[in-house]
A and B are shown apart, each in its own frame.
Chain A
Amino acid sequence: MSWRLNLAKLASLFRRPQTMNDLEEEIRTHLQMEEQENLEFGMSPDEARYAALRQFGNVALAQQKSREMWVWNRAETMRQDLGFGLRQLKRSPTFAAVAVLTLALGIGANTAIFQMLDAVRLRSLPVTNPHELTLIHLADMPGKRGSQDTTYPALNNPLWQYIRDHQAAFSQVLAWSPTMLGISEGVHERAVPSLWVSGNFFDVLGVRPALGRLFNSADDEPGCGASGLVVSYGFWQEQLGGDPHAIGRTLTIGRHPVPILGVTRAGFTGPEIGHSFDLAAPICSQPAYWTDGNWLDSSTDWWLTVMGRLKPGGSLAEANASLKSLSPAAFESSLRKDYPTENVRDYLRFQLVADSAPSGVSWLRDKYENPLWMLLGLAGVVLLIACANLANLMLARGSARMQELAVRLSLGATRARLIWQLLWETAPLILFGAATGLVLARVLGKCLIDLLSTQGDSLFVDLHPDWRVLGFTSTLAALTALLFGLVPAFRAVSIAPNEVMKTGWARAGGMQESSRLRRALVIAQVALSLVLITGAVLFARTLGNLLTVDAGFREDSILIAQLDLTRLRLPAPLRITAKREILDQLRTIPGAESAAEARIVPLSGGSIDNRVWAEGEDRQSGFDPNFNWVGEGYFKTLGIPLLAGRDLDEKDTPASPKVAIVNEEFARRFAKGANPVGLRIRREATPHEPEMVFEIVGLVKNSKYLDLRERFRPIVYLSVTQDQNPDPFEQVLIHSTLPVPMLTSTIKREVGERSPDISVDFSVFKTQIQESLLPEKLMAALSGFFGILAGLLTAVGLYGVISFLVARRTHEIGIRMALGAGKAQVLLSVLRETLLLTMVGMGLGLPITFGVARLIAGMLFGVKPEDPASLTMAACALCAVGLAAAYIPALRAAKVDPVVALRYE
């Protein structure tokens, strides 16, 4: 067939082709001619007409056959079925609304979660050939010392430079590190998310400028100072108003006016998924922007994430082999004097390896990937339950049309044609459902991102629906259609038309079979609901347990103030005095009950551990407790009871003997539970301090350090005032019952009066702790939502089936009542049947529930996966749902009038 013919056929879908009208007229003419001829032969007019018709045969068939010549039969019938489906929906708008809403919720929830997964896991970075990108990191890191300054695998600068200059494994390598840079605006400073990048960073990723130029390797030479910045497209649009003359404008970073060199193209949001960047500065500028510390020549600052681009056609294995041979020389030449001597041998033994990293790195992904997959599974189960409901509804509608289908079957319609028709009738539902679901998914997706954003850390996730999301949604919709359309359709056409036409469908056994199927569907719903509701209970209890777990310290009414004294440019000894003066000033604020310095705020994610052993013993006999540097009043501020000895105080100075306070867990490990006060411990050398001896002067109760889920860890508290070389940052915990806004404005004013060069940031301790529970909150909230949804859907399903059963049994109930059964008995018998269905469903759901619970065991806290109490709660909830759903039909059954019911037949 020619393309023109196909086109004509396609067009004929939308309008009745001229040919068809012509044909009708032609056939009419034909019949008239024949009739005339017959008349001429002397037939009577009637005879003549009948003879003509007889001669012609089946007029409709001829028309139909000719018509098929011109249109796609399949498409044509499809359009008819679709139209029929639409008309049917118009006739029952409630059914349509319920069905579309159910589908939209099911498909929307699935799509929302999938698009999040797509954005953080499946999608590649928006750069050239992302599949060539690899992440270069240390294979194994015992003996790695120093500070890890990013959440991602990182190398130090000398190592990066060696790799850059000597590697042959990759076509190109790049390095970057996330940071915050402060833009000065008058007296205020605003910190914006930024990147340190190697000179070739944008070039290797294939990122073009939207304006100006991006960095090249000449921009990243040692000693470059604060030479220039590249800004992101988003920053250019939002902060610079898309100024076409932005190139050459300067931004003040710290005290340096820095020119803007270029703007990156739209769509590039950095190498990290979950965060975007505003500014990018070359790595060599680090010492210029940060007055404290030069990381360029340090082998203990692990801050640069190094990525390589595989050679075209090169394999990861080849790259790794090449890195392996490069490693010894790389570590030898990058070793600097600051590396602790006892670990130098470890350093020289390090190995570099590369892993494929087409989608960059993502803290968000690491944290949420598993919960998201889990949630996708749960959402899938919800959709299954919804499908069962819809299948049930379709079955009910199918029953009403049995007579029609039987007539059509006996008139010669093929079963395939009928199944096809019934399937297509569900298409409008699916299409509306999926479309609404997609819209819903966008809204839900935004909510999800808001839910995961924290104070001072807004997430950036690009949720534009790509082909993967659309494909997912359409596949989902198609599967849904098959699930809830195909089963009832097969059921509907498996009838014996003769029987149905002779005796009616119900008598022909259809009713029996249909009610079996409907019961099976409801049982499946109950089984799946049990899984979801139990999951919801387990996650809710996990969250509850974490929220109420005794962390060992006061969480309420604590404000964290982070003061940045960098711009005062004080030498170390003066910093100590300045910090003490500020602290004293904060303590005098009315309403501030106590205040204390702390280098690490518990549960904030920061941690330090070092080896400790008893003085005079072997290093090998020691262990690795966690450390914190705190000031006087820390324990009082956080409400951690001092069990023995004394608190740190002002008499602990750099010159006085070094002291430490330990917690109970430390005492248990170190002194076998005896009072450790007075004992002396030796701590290994750190990048900043040599090996030292500390005298334990106090013992405090246990408290959590890194994570609410942890068992209490051994902790050593050192005095922040004994640090000879304090950094220019001061973190103060303030205990006050004043409203937070009032407290923060007072502190800002006080500190501002002292010096406008000190910047202060605040966070609320309680909020910070709760934010550390975000994955748990996410799981609890969403699994709870799914659980409720599952319960509702199951209730609707049960209601439908019980109503149907009651209607079917009206006759029987009438007889029973005529024979003396009371209303209560009838009511109970209906409820009993419901309970039986629910029980069977729960019985079947139990093994599945245990299986799923074991899968999520790792995400639970303080509750066992097969916790009987949780299971009982879920089961009771389901029974309640079942009984509530059955109550109305049961009442209806009890109101059956025996006279009416018996007359009915």
Chain B
Amino acid sequence: MLILRTLRWGAAHGHGIAKSIERMSEDTLKVEHGSLYPALQRLQQEGWINAEWGVSKNNQRAKYYRLTALGRRQLVAEASRWERFVKAVSGVLKPAESEEGQ
């Protein structure tokens, strides 16, 4: 989901995606960059992103990933599901916290 969100703003290569996820989560998610690539493969298989070779700022050959129409729809769906999940979790947690507080 994070990857999809990253790609919302346009195409990016693997390294860029990793960096922006780190930035977005304000360094709370210290992911190994290695685990990014299997995830990218999976998303490609689902048809949510596609990839093409391009040239990076530093004149390096890199693969650029971008969201497909399908991916965009998925992102919306997942985002709303995620928000529901977060709401539910916080709904469960809040009373617990307040109980503790009493």
Interface residues of A (CB under 8 A from B): 1, 5, 19, 22-23, 25-27, 29-30, 32-34, 36, 55-59, 61-63, 65-66, 68-70
Contacts and interface: CB of A to CB of B under 8 A. Distances in A.
A342 to B, nearest CB: 91
Contacts of A66: 37-38, 40-41
Contact of B15 (A34, A57, A62, A69): A34
The CB with the most chain A CB atoms within 10 A, among B14, B38, B42, B45, is that of B38
Interface stretch (B3-11, B27-35, B68-76, B85-93): B27-35
- Among the interface residues B36, B41, B42, B61, which one has the most CB atoms of the partner chain A within 10 A? B41
A33 B62 CA distance: 10
Contact of B42 (A23, A57, A69): A69
Contacts of B13: 29-30, 33
B56 interface: yes
Nearest to A55: B33
Contacts of B58: 33, 36
A602 B58 CA distance: 105
Contacts of B35: 57, 62, 65
A70 B36 CA distance: 16
A37 to B, nearest CB: 8
B34 A57 contact: yes
Q: Tell me whether chain A's interface is mostly helix, strand or loop, or mixed.
A: helix
7 contacts: A25-B61, A27-B37, A29-B14, A29-B60, A33-B62, A34-B15, A62-B36
Interface in B19-54: 32-38, 40-42, 45
A29 B41 CA distance: 16
B14 A70 contact: no
Nearest to B61: A29
A50 to B, nearest CB: 14
Contacts of B61: 25, 29
What range describes how many residues of B lie at the interface? Answer: 20 to 34
A65 B38 CA distance: 6
Contacts of A22: 63
Contacts of A62: 34-38
Nearest to A22: B63
A33 B32 contact: no
A33 B60 contact: yes
Given A29-B56, A57-B33, A66-B41, 20 more contacts: A19-B41, A25-B61, A27-B14, A27-B34, A29-B13, A29-B15, A30-B13, A30-B15, A33-B62, A55-B32, A55-B33, A57-B32, A57-B34, A58-B32, A61-B34, A62-B34, A62-B38, A66-B38, A68-B38, A70-B41
Contacts of B56: 29, 33
Nearest to A63: B37
Contacts of B45: 1, 5, 69-70
Contacts of A59: 34
Contacts of B60: 29, 32-33
A58 B33 CA distance: 9
A488 to B, nearest CB: 36
A617 B95 CA distance: 119
B36 to A, nearest CB: 8
A56 B34 CA distance: 5
A68 B37 CA distance: 12
Contacts of A19: 41
User: What are the 4 closest A-B residue pairs judged by CB atoms, nearest first?
Assistant: A57-B32, A57-B34, A62-B34, A65-B38
B57 to A, nearest CB: 9
A55 to B, nearest CB: 5
The residue among A5, A30, A65 with the most chain B CB atoms within 10 A of its own CB is A30
Nearest to A1: B45
A398 B62 CA distance: 47
A56 B15 CA distance: 10
A70 B37 CA distance: 13
Contacts of A56: 32-34
Contacts of A68: 38
B90 to A, nearest CB: 31
Given A36-B58, A57-B32, A57-B33, A30 B41 contact: no
A25 B62 CA distance: 8
Contacts of A36: 58
A68 B42 CA distance: 10
B62 A26 contact: yes
Contact of B33 (A32, A34, A69, A70): A34
Nearest to B62: A29
Contact of A33 (B15, B34, B41): B15
Nearest to B16: A33
A55 B31 CA distance: 8
Contacts of B33: 30, 34, 55-57
Contacts of B14: 26-27, 29-30
A279 B22 CA distance: 90
Contacts of B34: 27, 56-59, 61-62
Contacts of A55: 32-33
Contacts of A32: 60
A9 to B, nearest CB: 10
A586 B34 CA distance: 103
Contacts of A23: 37, 41
A315 to B, nearest CB: 56
B65 to A, nearest CB: 10
Nearest to A68: B38
B37 A26 contact: yes
Contacts of B41: 19, 23, 66, 69-70
Contacts of A65: 35, 37-38
Contacts of A29: 13-15, 56, 60-63
A63 B58 CA distance: 25
A70 B40 CA distance: 12
Contacts of B18: 30
B19 to A, nearest CB: 8
A56 B22 CA distance: 13
Contacts of B38: 62, 65-66, 68-69
Nearest to B58: A36
A359 to B, nearest CB: 53
A380 B63 CA distance: 60
A168 B58 CA distance: 95
